[in-house]
Amino acid sequence: MLFETPETEVRPVGLAQETQRGTCPICGMGCFVEVKVQDGIPVRFKADHGSPHPADCPRAGQAKTYHNHPDRLNFPLKRVGRRGEGRWEQIGWDQALDEIAAKLARIRDTHGPEAVQTLGGSFKGPGDAACWRWANLFGTPNIMHQGKNCGSAEYLAEWSVYGTIGVVGYWPMPYVTKCAVFWGGNPPVPGGIAAEKAIKAARKAGTKIIVIDPRRSEAAELADIWLRIRPGADGALAYGLIHVIINEGLYDKEFVDKWCLGFDELRNAVADYTPARVSELTWLPVEQIIEVARVYATHKPGIISFGLGTVELGNATNATVFGKAYLRAITGNLDVIGGQLLDDMPEFIRYREELHWDTLLDHPLRKRDNVSAGRWPVAGVGGMKTFREAMARVHPKGPGPAFYMMCTAPSAVWNAILDEDPYPVKAVIAQGTNSLVALANSRRIHEAFTSANLDLHVVMDHWMTPHAQLADYVLPATDGIERPNLGGMWGFGNVTSAAMRVAKPLHERRDDYQLWRELGNRLGQRGQWPDTLEEWFDKLLEPSDITFAELAGRDMPWLFPAPPTERRYETTGFATFSGKVELSSSLMKRLDYPGIPRCEEPGWSPFRTPDLFRDYPLVMTAGASSPYYYRSQHKQLEKMRRQHPKAFASIHPETAGKLGIGNGDPVWVETPMGRVRQWARLDEALHPGVVHADGLWWYPEQEAYEPHLSGVWESNINSILPDSPDFASFAGDNHLRAHICRVVPVEAGTHFGAD
């Protein structure tokens, strides 16, 4: 890099305590640490076992290294060369903010506020919510963050069918939950030791554990029944399970008669999904399909989990996520303790009000819906209004985590920049996302980010990522130890935890919140933004009559909602237009979707594109979470790299043998869009026809600038995945798992692309 980073400038902190409670700086999960602070410098981190979620994942030991890493971004940078050339000038925050605000004002005045697109990542803490609040006040409906890909389809399906989200945050309750289905989710990795213990305890107490996953995942290891499904066949499986449950009369007749509309339509929709046909489509034995249907329907109460493996399947996502919702409903598992309790936002935090739901829906400057609403109405402002209307009786203040749902579809963002379709997007402000690595069709994203059409591109991050390298301004963000944290900022989850800022930010790092506050103040939003993040937290906590500092200072620094009660629908009805569970959704019909989705194959698949499958004869899924990384992150941490040094393509030994590939060999993973290099890892537990490719790889140790961009074209599977709108789910998200590929050995002596 062409700028200097002073090594050791640390400001005094002046905090008296030696050992303090804070949040782990490494990822947005915000787990609690005990930190020893000496002369204002955090010198030792330990998991805080007296807290609700101690920092004890495999990355936790890297807290100090992460916080002090020499490659961290510490100063605002302004591009002086071409985009991607890697030439930067260090500037002050005021200059950066003045220039960015002036450009935004010009863009707003010329093209309208909708010409500004924000991009966010996986959950990163309070900056995310501040971003949505800012976008709302500014008047742009073009908000995109990774929640689009990591869940929106599943939540929208739940909203459409029963009006409230039931899938988040519930674990099997030992002795109460009789069956837990982990479908496309692998809790022991995202949830760590606590999740593993919870599953083990439940199983010991008699809960039947079912895991549906093409890989023998950590969760599969703990299961009574593991369904090694073909990636992307989940919709067929869901419809097949419903078929068996209806045919065998195992559904909850009383609940269905009294509370469900559209049962006959559902029965017809699944009529063709006989166990024999589903077996052919899923590559699962007929007996196993029937067994799982019976076990789930007869062991009640039961839960079916959220899972990324079921929401990133493109066209196949639709029947999968709706199918999961129907299964919960027709078995009478909705809103019962130990089953799928329906969750809404807790009242102890002023979240909805602070995010200005109403102004978002009717902003005076905003004339247009987001750039993807034409194609996917469900994820636009208009769609949001329809959902809100349907839910009004039960959720008068509006639904819970609504911003999550309103995100623009990624493919539509690139079209808006490159083709000005349906209207121009001229500015991108990206915070906490490495979109060039994380989203499908990286080449098109690269084209958009380097396009002359884009007048302004700002990135705020901890590191100079391949995405940041293409920005005009790069801004340094604080991490969890040097900023305060109020957990639960995406509005999910019903526990809110608080932790103070433990150390003063190093160098010129600033809270993500401050980017939005400072831009807001320069753009006509004065009076809307408390000066500090701590003060904003105070405002959010007003309904609880507690300040942020008081909450964080408690021995038990978290707020729990009232204990759950069940069957609340008996007094309120469900939060749908009819007040019933709508197996055929009237809301979806109003938005021009079918009431019950058709079960579709993913865009490329053995059954949908058999000709293509002859050339690419393996089914590929990509990007399952690794315990050593959080999505694209942490590749800078040497100790993690020792555990998982590069991108691996897991393949069955028999298949590898036929292809002349040995364990550890470099291989090309090829799709119809191109190839990337990964390293073979032999895995006997996989189906011989299935490959798992590591996702989100880049190599921070390689040259950061064009054409290398830290090796972004080398192993990153998303550079060879399509982002065709035709491949997206009904929510417009990227299709990131369940494709087809071929795997071939890398010829000896091959040099990779850029060098």
Q: Where do contacts with ligand MGD occur on this chain (CB under 6 A)?
A: 28, 121-122, 124-125, 127, 146, 149-150, 183-186, 189-190, 212-215, 217, 229, 231-232, 234, 307-310, 312-313, 431-435, 438, 460-463, 465, 477, 479, 512, 621-627, 629-633, 695-696, 717-718, 721, 736-738
Distance CA 52, CA 407 (A): 30
- Please tell me the distance from the alpha carbon of residue 693 to that of residue 716, in angstroms, as a whole number: 9
Among 20, 74, 117, 122, binds Mo ion (CB under 5 A): 122
CA distance 123 to 146: 8
Binding residues for Mo ion, rule CB under 5 A, total 2
Our CB check for ligand MGD shows the closer of 161 and 313 to be: 313
Helix 126-138 / helix 533-540 crossing angle, nearest 10 deg: 80
Binding mask 471-510 for Mo ion (x = CB under 5 A): ----------------------------------------
* Among candidate residues 223, 62, 43, 15, the one with its CA nearest the CA of residue 628: 62
CB of 621 to ligand MGD, least distance (A): 4
SS3 745: strand
- State which of residues 104, 143, 150, 378 lies at the interface with Mo ion (CB under 5 A): 150
Partner from ligand SF4, ligand MGD, Mo ion, none contacting 24, C-beta within 5 to 8 A by type = ligand SF4
* Smallest distance from ligand MGD to CB 197, Å: 16
Interface residue list for ligand SF4 (CB under 6 A): 24, 26-27, 29-31, 55, 57, 59-60
Q: Provide, rounded to whole angstroms, the least separation between the CB of residue 150 and Mo ion.
A: 3
Residues 437, 439, 442, 444, CA torsion sign: negative
DSSP 717: G
Question: 29 or 242: whose CB is closer to ligand SF4?
Answer: 29
Tell me which of ligand MGD, Mo ion, ligand SF4, none is bound by residue 231, counting a contact when its beta carbon lies within the kind-specific cut-off of 5 to 8 angstroms: ligand MGD
Which option in ligand MGD, Mo ion, ligand SF4, none does residue 60 bind, with CB closer than 5 to 8 A by kind?
ligand SF4
- What token pair was written down for 440? 């499908």
Two structure tokens written together for 306? 């959220």
* Buried-exposed string 283-309: b where 16+ CB fall within 10 A, e elsewhere: bbeeebbbebbebbbebbbbbbbbbbb
Residue 653: cis peptide before it, omega within 30 degrees of 0: no
Residue among 182, 175, 250, 185 nearest 207 (CA) = 175
Per DSSP, the three-state class of 527 is coil
Sign of the alpha-carbon torsion through 738, 743, 746, 751: negative
Residue 297's binding partner, choosing from Mo ion, ligand MGD, ligand SF4, none, with beta-carbon cut-off 5 to 8 A by kind?
Answer: none
Question: Between residues 61 and 617, which has the closer beta carbon with respect to ligand SF4?
Answer: 61
Cβ-based neighbours of 352, under 8 Å, separated by 6 or more: 345, 397, 398, 491
190 binds, among Mo ion, ligand SF4, ligand MGD, none (CB under 5 to 8 A by kind): ligand MGD
C-beta of residue 461 within 8 angstroms of C-beta of residue 429 = no
Does 633 sit near Mo ion (CB under 5 A)? no
Looking at the Cβ atoms of 33 and 116, the one nearer to ligand SF4 is 33
| CB-nearer residue toward Mo ion: 122 or 434 | 122
**Is-cis flag, bond preceding 301, omega within 30?**
yes
Q: Which is nearer to Mo ion, 150 or 371 (CB)?
A: 150
Residue 51 within binding range of Mo ion, rule CB under 5 A: no
189 binds, among Mo ion, ligand SF4, ligand MGD, none (CB under 5 to 8 A by kind): ligand MGD
CB of 480 to ligand MGD, least distance (A): 7
- CB closer to ligand SF4, 30 vs 184: 30
Residue number, 311 or 329, with CB nearest to ligand MGD: 311
Enumerate the β-bridge partners of residue 20: 35
Residue 20 has a CB neighbour count (10 Å cut-off) of 21
Least CB distance from residue 26 to ligand SF4, whole Å? 3
Range list of H helices, 602-644:
610-615, 638-643
State the nearest-atom distance from the C-beta of 19 to ligand SF4, in Å: 18
Cβ neighbors of 534 (< 8 A, separation 6 or more) are 484, 501, 548, 549
Provide the minimum distance between the beta carbon of 212 and ligand MGD in the complex, in angstroms, as a whole number: 5
Please, what is the minimum distance in Å from the beta carbon of residue 56 to ligand SF4? 6
Chosen from ligand MGD, Mo ion, ligand SF4, none, partner binding at 55 (C-beta under 5 to 8 Å by type): ligand SF4
- Which residues partner with 619 through β-bridges? 690, 740
Q: What are phi and psi of 185, to 5 degrees?
A: -130, 150
Residue nearest to Mo ion (CB): 150
**Least Å from the CB of residue 727 to ligand SF4:** 31
DSSP per residue over 259-305, as a string? HEE-HHHHHHHTTT--HHHHHHHHT--HHHHHHHHHHHHHS-SEEE-
Q: Which is nearer to Mo ion, 308 or 588 (CB)?
A: 308
Q: Report the run of H or E that residue 431 belongs to, with start and end.
A: strand 427-431
CB of 497 to ligand SF4, least distance (A): 12
Write out the residues near Mo ion by the rule CB under 5 A. 122, 150
